[in-house]
Amino acid sequence: MRLLVTGGCGFIGSAFLRAALSRSSVERVVNLDVLSYSGRRENQSELEREARYRLVVGDIADAALVARVFQEEKIDHVAHFAAESHVDRSLFAAQAFVHTNVLGTLVLLEAARGAREKGRFERFLHVSTDEVYGDLGDTGDVFRETTPLSPRNPYSASKAGADLLALSYVKTHGLPLVVTRSSNNYGPRQFPEKLMPLVVTNALMDRQVPVYGDGKNVRDWLFVEDNAQGIFAAMERGRPGEVYNLGGENERENLTVVRAILAALGKPESLIQFVKDRPGHDRRYALDSRRAHGELGWKPAVTFEEGLARTVAWYRANEPWWRAIRDDSFDAYYERHYGKLGLKEQPTA
């Protein structure tokens, strides 16, 4: 397997790099990453010593660069992680989401199609999200792979666009492509703008932790290493043209998650600060992952309690990692944008 991983300096991509390099079936791993704000070189620096591994810094939407990497490295597998992924950011800067998530995906699909036509391309794994299905509200239902896509924010709309484009290449060009849609990931190295690492790092600094709306939105939490295993299994064993939901089977209200983090850190619940709700805030996501369980033989292995303990321990032990991000420029950015969105304001009674 000569594998191109896009976005391997990110949170999920770097967990996947480790999983891939631990397998002897993988002859070569090339990581194409633009090192944007959330792509951290230090997430993979120890891998740079591996002879089978190469980091290429560049944009997936740069067709000439992507073509060169495919040719030079004789790529026959792609695992496509690179994406703008933070919902809040998509509310004030949607263009980058279309550039990377839609245009970047198209460039990769075209490169894979070209390699396929030359007879040497085997599998494209497109990494997606449960957010493309939309919002479950309080119905108690779950998303299945057959649930129609109904994204509700610019981020999820751009991912849904990418999914549809990717699946169209199966039909029109016979590209052997598989899609995974996972639930909320958490674990070491997650950029501290997402709920869990924001709460952990704020609490470690004895700062207030913002909870949007009533805190009763529900997410299904999947430990990042379990997602990496599921994605690898889908790349190896998934049926071309098929979608596989990868759920954590850990549905929790946000407030429950926040309280568990504060308890794990020994911090008081008085740090919780309710703020105005995220515009278009999806109430609940939950996945039916029976297809992945049955066809891929995959199931999450890490319990929520174990995953949370490992996550909190990692942030405690790796303060230089998050301090380098949580600097004055992060605070200035947060003030500017979250102030505008009202995500810093106290709700009025």
- Catalytic annotation, residues: 130-131, 155
Residue with Cβ nearer ligand DAU (100 or 217): 217
User: Are 296 and 234 in contact, with CB atoms under 8 Å apart?
Assistant: yes
210 is an interface residue for ligand DAU by CB under 6 A: yes
Q: CA torsion 311→316→317→322, rounded to 10°?
A: 90
CA atoms of 270 and 259, how far apart (whole Å) = 10
State which of residues 31, 43, 85, 250 lies at the interface with ligand DAU (CB under 6 A). 85
Interface with ligand DAU (CB under 6 A), residue total 19
Residue with Cβ nearer ligand DAU (166 or 195): 195
Largest CA distance in the chain: 64
135 is an interface residue for ligand DAU by CB under 6 A: no
State which of residues 6, 43, 184, 229 lies at the interface with ligand DAU (CB under 6 A). 184
326 is an interface residue for ligand DAU by CB under 6 A: no
43 is an interface residue for ligand DAU by CB under 6 A: no
Nearest to 132 by CA among 108, 106, 165: 165
Q: CA torsion 145→147→153→154, rounded to 10°?
A: 60
Q: Per CB under 6 A, which region of 3-11, 61-69, 110-118, 129-137 contacts ligand DAU?
A: 129-137
State which of residues 76, 131, 225, 226 lies at the interface with ligand DAU (CB under 6 A). 131
Q: Which runs of consecutive H residues, i.e. helices, occur in the chain?
A: 11-21, 63-73, 87-92, 95-97, 105-117, 154-173, 195-204, 224-237, 254-265, 290-291, 304-317, 319-323, 328-341
β-strand pairing of 272-275 with 243-246: unpaired
CB 196 → ligand DAU: shortest distance, Å?
A: 7
User: Are 283 and 138 in contact, with CB atoms under 8 Å apart?
Assistant: yes
7 is an interface residue for ligand DAU by CB under 6 A: no
State which of residues 90, 201, 254, 311 lies at the interface with ligand DAU (CB under 6 A). 254
First to last CA, the chain: 58
337 is an interface residue for ligand DAU by CB under 6 A: no
CB 114 → ligand DAU: shortest distance, Å?
A: 29
Residue with Cβ nearer ligand DAU (30 or 275): 275
Summarize as ranges the residues that interact with ligand DAU (CB under 6 A): 85-87, 129-131, 183-184, 194-195, 198, 210-212, 217, 219, 254, 278, 285
